[in-house]
Structure 1
């Protein structure tokens, strides 16, 4: 499985969008500061993830979430998830 995930900084509420084949490992790496961007903005909380069978589809979704339309959809998904 491949995952697209979104982390939220508990320090400044910034969002980080990423892709991985090992979600638990990757979230742990971000939490430990082993990623350039996330090391300066943590601690982080996993707020969204989506699983894919296809690596190509997961990468495509990650790139989409980083666009204007993707950010709009992500905002909708996050709002719906807390209702």
Structure 2
């Protein structure tokens, strides 16, 4: 059994349909865009979780995000390498 009740034949049908709709040249771009979206969502969720943990333990602590910015417990953001 596949994702959400879709079997192997359903997955193959979806892949063929996506290939017909988007074409072979657009599918890699579409896959990369979806991957970047999921990665950004995961990083944002991780940042929120670490902010919650740091705020509960030490309100003046700092959190470094994935892009190098430092967020203080007071809500200020500074760009540091």
Q: What TM-score, normalized by structure 1, do the two folds share?
A: 0.30
Higher relative contact order (CA 8 A, sep 6+): 1
The structure where strand makes up a greater share of residues is 1
Larger radius of gyration, structure 1 or 2? 2
Task: Tell me the TM-score normalized by structure 2.
Answer: 0.30
